Amino acid sequence: MSTIHHFTGTEDHFDWDNVKPLHYTSDTIKSTSGKIMIGTDEGAEHFVFRYFCVEPGGHSTLNDQHAHPHGVMILHGRALVTLEDKQYELGPRDVVFVQPWQPHSFAAVGDQAMGFLCVIPNLDMMAKLENTKHK
């Protein structure tokens, strides 16, 4: 079944109707929240479409790495993106491809929140990829 989530946010606060926020608590993540906008609940079999917001001074999981690739687009704010041992400062509408098993993280730069879209394979596909982890 097709699904539409209308944008209900503002220029400073991104939100969509009928999308529940996800809050992360971990020693390796700071001031980051997310939303699964399209996933298995919407019937997507092959991908998950997510939005993350990183507050000033915050970051995604440090040196995160998985079997699945990521497609990321910065929507607002400034980002310091770490890919393996290199860092890049990115802004709105910049796009990043994160290869499988590549250590990566996303941090907010400056005094504004940074938000990005992230597309990954769905959980079933990720489980299949995990089983093919290179040795």
Render each residue's pLDDT in the chain as its tens digit; 135 residues. Answer: 789 999 999 987 899 999 988 888 788 899 999 999 999 888 898 899 999 999 999 999 998 998 889 999 999 999 999 999 999 999 999 999 999 999 999 999 999 999 999 999 987 766 766 666 554
pTM of the model: 0.87
**Residue entry with tokens 């290869």:** 99
CA distance 130 to 26: 22
**Residue entry with tokens 């997507």:** 44
pLDDT of residue 135: 45
CA distance 115 to 11: 11
Q: Which CATH superfamily is domain 21-130 in?
A: Jelly Rolls (2.60.120.10)
Domain ranges, ordered by start, for the chain: 21-130
